[in-house]
C-alpha cells in the first residue's frame, strides 16, 4: 500500500511538473485555433461590409450634408405633406397586408399542422412554391388576372356578379392583393413551425378538464402559437415597409410607397440628400420595430422563426 | 367520414369543413395565379384572355428571336452561377468558422451576416449604386455578382449554420485525433454529412440572384441588363405576352430547383433537419 501511494505521489509530482508548461501550450494552441477559425468568417464579412454597409454609412453622412455644410434640411423636408402622405400610405398598406396575412395564414398553418405528416409535407411544398417563383412572374400573373379585360373581371361578369368591369389594378386594391400573395408564405412558415412543436397532450388535457373544443383552441393552442405568430407578423410587416417591386408595378404610380419616393429622388432628381434622409428614416423604423419586438419576445425567436 | 373525430378535443371532420375549405382556397390563391401564366403563354392573341382563343408558340418565338432578351437571359444565368459559387463558398466557410470557433466575436459576426436581410432592399440598392458610381462598377458583371453575393451569403449562412446544429462535431475531433488535419477532416468527414444543406443553400443562392430585381434596376443597365431588369421595364410599359413565355420558363426552373431540394432531403443519407419531428422529451419541455 505504501509502495502504491509512493508511486502515486511520484506520478502526481511528475504530472504537476510538466502540467504547467503543457497546459500553457495547450491554451496557446486553442487561442490560435479560435482565431484562425473565426477568421474564416472574415471574407464574407468583408464583402458584406464593403458592398452593403459602407455605402449605407455614406448615405447616412450624405443625409446631413448640403454642399459642405452640416444640415437638417433633408429631414425637415420630410415633414412636407407629400412625404407624410406617403408615410401614411406605407403604414396603411403594411397594416392591411399583415392583417390579411394573419386571417388567411393562421387557418392554413393550423390546417397543415393538423393533417397527416405526408399530406402536410405536400401542402408545405405548395406554400413554398410561390417563394421559389420569381417575384416578377407573380406580379405579371396578377397584372394579367386583374386587368380590365382580365380573367377575374371576365369571370365575375360571366357569373353575373358585376355589370361593368371593376378597377382592380393600378390602385390600392391591386397592390394589396399582390402584396398579400408575396407575403403570405412568410406568415405561414413560422406559424407552422411553431404549431408543429405544440404538444398535443395539452389539448387533450384541456378536453379532460372539461374545456369545449373552441375554448381549448383559444385558451391553450392559440397562446402557445404566439411565438410563431409574432415572428410572422414582424417578418411580413418589416418586409412590407420597405417593399418596392409590387407597389411599383401593381400600383401603377397611384400608390406611393416610401421606397418609391427613395427611387424617385435618385433616378429622376438625383437628389441624394433627400433619398438618403428617406432611407435613414426607413432603416430607423425597421430597426426600431425589430428592436422593440426583440425586447418583448426575444430576438432568437424572430430570427430562428421557431 | 365527416362524423369521425378529427382531434383530441373531439371536433368532427364535418365541424371543421370550413377550415378545409378556407385552407384549400388559400392554397389555390397561392399557386394558381403563377400556374395560369403557363397556358396564357401559348395563346395566339395579344390580349391575355382565359381560356386563350387559340394556341400558338409565337410568344416563345418572339422571345428566342429577340437578341436583347437572349442577352439578358445569358447575363442573368452567368451572374446567378457566379453568385452561387462565391456565396456558397464564403457562406459555408463562415458558418463553419462561427460554429467551431469559441471566439466572443462569433455572435456579432452572425448578426452582421443577417444585416443584408434586415436592411430594406431599396436602401441597399441605392447604396450600392452610389458606391459603384465611384468605383466604376455600375453595369459590369463583377459589380452585379458582388452585389448579388451580398444578398445570397446570409441565406447560405442560415441554412448551413442550422445544419451544424444537428451535426456532432466530435466526429471531426475523432478524425483529427487519428491524424487528419482540420481542413482534411472538414472535407472528408463533415462536408459529406452536411452536403444536403450546402447544395440546398447553393440552389437558393442561384435563384436569389436570378430573381433579384431592385439592385439590378440600379446597377445592371446597358448591355449588362439582367432578365429581371428587362422584365420590370417591360411590365411598367405594357403587358407584353412575351413575358408570359419568359415567365413560364422561369416557373419551370423554380419547380425544378424546388423539386431538387426536396429530393435531396429525402435521399437515404439525409441529415435530420433541426426541429424536424421533435423528440418526445423536447415537446414535453416546450
In tens, the pLDDT along B19-60 reads 999 999 999 999 999 998 898 889 888 777 777 888 888 889
Contact A44 B153 (CB under 8 A): yes
Give the whole-angstrom CA distance, residue B137 versus residue B146: 10
At residue B102, φ and ψ (nearest 5 deg) are -95, 15
- Enumerate the β-bridge partners of residue A196: none
Contact B128 A211 (CB under 8 A): no
- Interface size A-B, in CB pairs within 8 Å, comes to 287
Lowest mean pLDDT of A13-22, A86-95, A197-206, name the range: A13-22
Grid coordinates of B261? 431540394
Contact B94 A40 (CB under 8 A): yes
With CA atoms as reference, the chain B residue closest to A240 would be B120
Contact A197 B9 (CB under 8 A): no
Contact B19 A110 (CB under 8 A): yes
Counted residue by residue, chain B has a size of: 286
**Is B277 a residue whose pLDDT tops 60?**
no
Q: Which pLDDT band holds residue A128 (cuts at 50, 70, 90)?
A: very high
**Is A170 a residue whose pLDDT tops 90?**
no
pLDDT in the model for residue B270: 44
DSSP B222: G
Q: Is A31 on the interface with B (CB under 8 A)?
A: no
Q: For residue A30, which residues of chain B lie inside 8 Å, CB to CB?
A: 102
pLDDT in the model for residue B278: 37
Closest by CA to A37, choosing from B98, B80, B228, B271, is: B98
% helix, strand, coil for chain A, step of 5 = 80, 0, 20
Roughly how many angstroms between the first and final C-alpha of chain A, as a whole number?
A: 60
**In this structure, how many other beta carbons lie within 10 angstroms of the beta carbon of residue B249?**
15
Contact B231 A136 (CB under 8 A): yes
Residues 104-133 of A with CB under 8 A from B: 104-105, 107-108, 110-112, 114, 123, 125-130, 132-133
The partner residue sitting opposite B98, judged by closest CB among A41, A53, A275, is A41
Domain ranges of chain B: 66-269
Find the DSSP H helices in B178-237.
Answer: 182-185, 191-211, 214-219, 227-237
φ/ψ region of B179 (left if φ > 0, alpha if ψ in -120 to 50, else beta) reads left
CATH fit for domain B66-269, picks 3.40.50.10490, 1.10.3720.10, 1.10.357.10, 3.60.20.10? 1.10.3720.10
Are A246 and B214 in contact by the 8 Å Cβ rule? The answer is no
Grid coordinates of A194? 411553431
Residue whose C-alpha cell is 462598377 = B137
Query: Maximum Cα–Cα distance for chain A, whole Å?
Result: 108
Pick from A162-176, B136-150, B215-229 the range whose average pLDDT is largest: B136-150
Give the whole-angstrom CA distance, residue A153 versus residue A169: 11
In what helix (H) or strand (E) does residue A66 lie, and over which residues does it extend? strand A65-66
Are A259 and A228 in contact by the 8 Å Cβ rule? The answer is no
pLDDT digits (tens, 9 = 90+) for B141-189: 999 999 999 999 999 999 999 999 888 888 988 998 898 888 899 999 9
pLDDT digits (tens, 9 = 90+) for B190-203: 999 999 999 999 99
Q: For residue B19, which residues of chain A lie inside 8 Å, CB to CB?
A: 107, 110-111
Mean pLDDT of A166-175: 89
**In this structure, how many other beta carbons lie within 10 angstroms of the beta carbon of residue A182?**
22
How far is C-alpha A94 from the chain's CA centre?
13
Amino acid at each position: 500500500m505504501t509502495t502504491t501511494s509512493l508511486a502515486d505521489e511520484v506520478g502526481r509530482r511528475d504530472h504537476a511538473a510538466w502540467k504547467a508548461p503543457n497546459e500553457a501550450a495547450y491554451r496557446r494552441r486553442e487561442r490560435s485555433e479560435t482565431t484562425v477559425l473565426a477568421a474564416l468568417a472574415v471574407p464574407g464579412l468583408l464583402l458584406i461590409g464593403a458592398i452593403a454597409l459602407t455605402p449605407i454609412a455614406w448615405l447616412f453622412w450624405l443625409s446631413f450634408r448640403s454642399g459642405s455644410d452640416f444640415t437638417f434640411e433633408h429631414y425637415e423636408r420630410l415633414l412636407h405633406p407629400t412625404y407624410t402622405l406617403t408615410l401614411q400610405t406605407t403604414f396603411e398598406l403594411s397594416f392591411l397586408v399583415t392583417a390579411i396575412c394573419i386571417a388567411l395564414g393562421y387557418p392554413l398553418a393550423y390546417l397543415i399542422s393538423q393533417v397527416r405528416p405526408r399530406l402536410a409535407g405536400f401542402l408545405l411544398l405548395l406554400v413554398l412554391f410561390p417563394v421559389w417563383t420569381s417575384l416578377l412572374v407573380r406580379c405579371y400573373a396578377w397584372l394579367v388576372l386583374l386587368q380590365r379585360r382580365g380573367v377575374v373581371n371576365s369571370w365575375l361578369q360571366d357569373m353575373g356578379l358585376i355589370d361593368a368591369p371593376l378597377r382592380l389594378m393600378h390602385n390600392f386594391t391591386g397592390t394589396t392583393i399582390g402584396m398579400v400573395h408575396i407575403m403570405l408564405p412568410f406568415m405561414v412558415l413560422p406559424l407552422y413551425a411553431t404549431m408543429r412543436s405544440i404538444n398535443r397532450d395539452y389539448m387533450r388535457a384541456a378536453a379532460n378538464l372539461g374545456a369545449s373544443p373552441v375554448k381549448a383552441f383559444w385558451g391553450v393552442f392559440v397562446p402557445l402559437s404566439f411565438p410563431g405568430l409574432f415572428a410572422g407578423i414582424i417578418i411580413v410587416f418589416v418586409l412590407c415597409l420597405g417593399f418596392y417591386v409590387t407597389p411599383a408595378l401593381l400600383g401603377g404610380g397611384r400608390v406611393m410607397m416610401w421606397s418609391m419616393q427613395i427611387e424617385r429622388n435618385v433616378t429622376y432628381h438625383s437628389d441624394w440628400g433627400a433619398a438618403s434622409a428617406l432611407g435613414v428614416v426607413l432603416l430607423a423604423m425597421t430597426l426600431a420595430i425589430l428592436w422593440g419586438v426583440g425586447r418583448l419576445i426575444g430576438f432568437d425567436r424572430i430570427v430562428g422563426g421557431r | 367520414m365527416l362524423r369521425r373525430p378529427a382531434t383530441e378535443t373531439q371536433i368532427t371532420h364535418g365541424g371543421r369543413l370550413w377550415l378545409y375549405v378556407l385552407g384549400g382556397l388559400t392554397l389555390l390563391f397561392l399557386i394558381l395565379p403563377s400556374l395560369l401564366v403557363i397556358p396564357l403563354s401559348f395563346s395566339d392573341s395579344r390580349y391575355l384572355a382565359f381560356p386563350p382563343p387559340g394556341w400558338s408558340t409565337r410568344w416563345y418565338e418572339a422571345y428566342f428571336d429577340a437578341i436583347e432578351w437572349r442577352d439578358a437571359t445569358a447575363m442573368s444565368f452567368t451572374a446567378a452561377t457566379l453568385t452561387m459559387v462565391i456565396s456558397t463558398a464564403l457562406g459555408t466557410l463562415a458558418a463553419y468558422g462561427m460554429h467551431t470557433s469559441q471566439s466572443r466575436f462569433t455572435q456579432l459576426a452572425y448578426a452582421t451576416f443577417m444585416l443584408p436581410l434586415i436592411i430594406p432592399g431599396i436602401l441597399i440598392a441605392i447604396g450600392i449604386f452610389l458606391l459603384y458610381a465611384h468605383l466604376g462598377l455600375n453595369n459590369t458583371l463583377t459589380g452585379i455578382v458582388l452585389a448579388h453575393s451580398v444578398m445570397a451569403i446570409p441565406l447560405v449562412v442560415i441554412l448551413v449554420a442550422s445544419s451544424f446544429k444537428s451535426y456532432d462535431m466530435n466526429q471531426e475531433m475523432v478524425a483529427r485525433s487519428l491524424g487528419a488535419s482540420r481542413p482534411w477532416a472538414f472535407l472528408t468527414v463533415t462536408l459529406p454529412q452536411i452536403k444536403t444543406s450546402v447544395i440546398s443553400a447553393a440552389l437558393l443562392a442561384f435563384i436569389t440572384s436570378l430573381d433579384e430585381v431592385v439592385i439590378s434596376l440600379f446597377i445592371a443597365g446597358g448591355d449588362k441588363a439582367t432578365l429581371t431588369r428587362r422584365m420590370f421595364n417591360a411590365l411598367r410599359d405594357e403587358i407584353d405576352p412575351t413575358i408570359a413565355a419568359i415567365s413560364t420558363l422561369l416557373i419551370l426552373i423554380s419547380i425544378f430547383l424546388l423539386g431538387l431540394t426536396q429530393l435531396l432531403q429525402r435521399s437515404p443519407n439525409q441529415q435530420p433537419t433541426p426541429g424536424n419531428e421533435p423528440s418526445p422529451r423536447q415537446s414535453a419541455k416546450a
